[in-house]
Chain A
Amino acid sequence: MLRSPSGVIGLIILLLAISVAVFGPMLFPNSPWRMVQRPFLPPFTLATVPLGTDALGRDVFAGMIFGARVSLLVGMVSTLVALVVGVPIGAMAGYFGGRVDDALMRFTEFFQTIPSFALAIVLVAILQPSIYSIVASIAVVSWPPVARLVRGEVLSLRTREYVQAAVVTGQSNTWIILREILPNTLSPVIVLASLMVATAILLESSLAFLGLGDPNLISWGYMVGAGRTVIRQAWWITVFPGVAILISVLGLNLIGEGLNDALNPRLSREGR
Chain B
Amino acid sequence: MLSFVAQRVVKGVIVLLAIVVLNFFLIRLAPGDPAVVMAGEAGAGDQIFVQQLREKFGLDKPLPEQLFIYVKGVVTLDLGFSFRQQAPVSKLILERLPATLLLTLTAFAISLMLGVLFGTFAARFAGTWLDTAITIFALIFYAMPIFWVALMGILLFSVTMDWLPSFGYETVGANLTGLAHVVDVAKHLIMPAMTLGLFFMATYTRMTRASMLEVKRLDFVKTARAKGLSDAVIQRRHVLRNALLPVVTLAGVHSGTLIGGAVITETVFAWPGIGRLMYDALLQRDYNLLLGVFVICSAMVLTFNLITDLVYRLVDPRIEFTT
On A, residues with C-beta under 8 Å from B are 110, 112-119, 121-123, 125-128, 198, 202, 205-206, 209-212, 221, 224-225, 228, 231-232, 235, 238-239, 242, 245-247, 249-250, 253-254, 270-272
Contacts and interface: CB of A to CB of B under 8 A. Distances in A.
Contacts, number: 140
B155 A231 contact: yes
Given A123-B26, A246-B148, A247-B143, 20 more contacts: A112-B253, A113-B302, A113-B305, A117-B256, A117-B261, A118-B259, A118-B278, A119-B294, A126-B29, A126-B30, A128-B31, A206-B260, A209-B264, A210-B264, A210-B267, A224-B147, A231-B151, A238-B155, A253-B143, A271-B126
A30 to B, nearest CB: 24
Nearest to A198: B143
9 contacts: A112-B253, A118-B263, A125-B287, A126-B26, A206-B146, A221-B145, A231-B159, A238-B151, A250-B143
Interface string B283-300: 101010011011001100
Nearest to A220: B145
B217 interface: yes
Contact of A206 (B143, B147, B151, B302): B147
Contacts of B294: 115, 118-119, 122
B263 A117 contact: yes
B210 to A, nearest CB: 7
B29 A127 contact: yes
B256 A242 contact: no
Contacts of B213: 270-271
A17 to B, nearest CB: 13
B159 A118 contact: no
B290 A117 contact: no
B126 to A, nearest CB: 8
Contact of B145 (A115, A121, A202, A231): A202
Contact of B282 (A113, A211, A247): A211
Contacts of A110: 15, 18
Interface of B: 15, 18-19, 22, 26-27, 29-31, 126-127, 139-140, 142-148, 151-152, 154-155, 159, 210, 213-214, 217, 253, 255-257, 259-261, 263-264, 267-268, 278-279, 282-283, 285, 287, 290-291, 293-294, 297-298, 301-302, 305
Given A118-B260, A125-B285, A125-B287, A225 B18 contact: no
A210 B300 CA distance: 22
Contacts of B27: 126
Q: A114, A116, A212, A228 — which one has the most chain B CB atoms within 10 A of its CB?
A: A114
10 nearest CB pairs, A to B? A117-B260, A242-B148, A115-B256, A249-B143, A250-B143, A126-B30, A115-B259, A118-B297, A209-B147, A115-B297
B154 A206 contact: no
Contacts of A247: 143
A75 to B, nearest CB: 13
A126 B155 CA distance: 33
Contacts of A271: 126, 210, 213
Nearest to B147: A209
B148 A116 contact: no
Contact of A231 (B154, B257, B260): B154
A122 B290 contact: yes
